[in-house]
Amino acid sequence: MKYLITGAGGQLGREWVHYARAKGYTASALTSSDLDITNENWVNKVINHEAPDVVINCAAYTKVDQAESEREKAFSVNADGVKYLAEACEKSGAKIVHYSTDYVFAGNLSDREIYPHGYTEDIECNPANVYGKSKQSGEIALMGSGAEFLLIRISWLCGRFGSNFVKTMLRLASEREEVSVVNDQFGSPSFAGDVAEKTDALIRKNLRGIYHISSIGELTWADFAEQVFLEKGTGTIVKRISSDEYPTKAKRPAYSLLCNKKMEKAGIKPLVWNDGLSKLMKQLNEVEN
Ligand SMILES: NC(=O)c1ccc[n+]([C@@H]2O[C@H](COP(=O)([O-])OP(=O)(O)OC[C@H]3O[C@@H](n4cnc5c(N)ncnc54)[C@H](OP(=O)(O)O)[C@@H]3O)[C@@H](O)[C@H]2O)c1
């Protein structure tokens, strides 16, 4: 099976390249300079030339706050780019694996009571910010393309490559004794290594449709930070604050837990979030040493 990874220079893209190499898979890794997915001709040329069995689309516009003022750019990558890739895959017969986000859901705190086990794959989307809307448009384009697809929603992505919450907390812990972190947004992290592994399991089981991949357990960002400091042994104090005390340009979901049960029913066991974090901390130490 030949894989083609787009957005190979990003957090998840780099993890996928690492995973594919470790497995000894045949995989082409294309960064944004090797393939700009917003260029339809380029997309068609590359897919025809490479003739992959599976395209793993890790390319995305992910600047959540900036998207509020760069709507066109966000939609160009997250909606048009996905459409071009999906259509090219449909024509060539390749399967497309595309990543989306918890941000496609409404994210209201009241949903925590309605869906205590998290949003399931079939719940209607109603994103609260431009980034979420652009990702929802990508989902719609993918599903309407006629390509064989796996649409994988992930949340709070953290891995050894690129920047993410865990790395930011570790940096802050090296600079100060107390860190303020929001304590009124509830969700669960997806660990990049785990996402690559579980995506591959879904591919190898020849599954299609929508799946959520995140960890077991609901937490707030403050809980997450505390566990990071505990794991690292920094002794850093977490000051629990509200979202109002940390205003952002784009509205963040108060609740964005993704339900993992569909994946579990497919025989793929979700990771408990603390275990995922321990694994990531080990990977980060290896990168450091
Ligand atoms: N990060 C999270 O917390 C999170 C949460 C939920 C879901 N997700 C989803 O998970 C996926 C991976 O996210 P990530 O954190 O790995 O993102 P990332 O680190 O921002 O990587 C995205 C990659 O896409 C590339 N890219 C941007 N525009 C492109 C274009 N027009 N053509 C080709 N490549 C392009 C970027 O390249 P340049 O840097 O060169 O522009 C970058 O390497 C995305 O679909 C994202 O929406 C992420």
Q: Where are the domains of the chain?
A: 2-162+189-216+257-271
Residue 136's pLDDT band, with cuts at 50, 70 and 90, is very high
CA of 106 to the centre of ligand 1 (A): 21
Give the mutation target among 43, 61, 62, 65 for probing the ligand 1 site: most ligand atoms within 8 A of CB: 62
pLDDT of residue 288: 66
Give the integer Cα–Cα distance in Å for 41 and 20: 27
CA of 274 to the centre of ligand 1 (A): 25
- Using alpha carbons, list the distances in angstroms from residue 96 to 74, 101, 145: 20, 16, 11
Verify whether residue 131 is a known catalytic residue.
yes
pLDDT of residue 280: 97
Residue 148's pLDDT band, with cuts at 50, 70 and 90, is very high
pLDDT of residue 187: 98
Q: Which residues line ligand 1 (CB under 6 A)?
A: 6-7, 9-13, 32, 35-38, 58-62, 77, 81, 99, 101, 135, 154-157, 162
CATH class of the domain at 2-162+189-216+257-271: alpha beta
pLDDT of residue 243: 96
Output phi, psi for 237, to 5 deg: -90, 135
From the list 61, 99, 131, 255, the catalytic residue is 131
Q: Is residue 126's pLDDT more than 80?
A: yes
pLDDT in tens, 3-19: 999 999 999 999 999 99
pTM beyond 0.85, yes or no: yes
Q: Burial code of 235-248, b = ≥16 C-beta within 10 A, e = fewer?
A: ebebebbeeeeeee
Residue type, 143: M
% pLDDT > 70, the chain:
99
pLDDT of residue 286: 85
Mean pLDDT of the chain: 97
pLDDT of residue 16: 98
Q: Is residue 231's pLDDT more than 60?
A: yes
pLDDT of residue 289: 54
- Using alpha carbons, list the distances in angstroms from residue 239 to 53, 178, 225, 274: 49, 7, 10, 20
Ligand 1 atom 32 nearest Cα:
36
120, 173 contact by CB (below 8 A): no
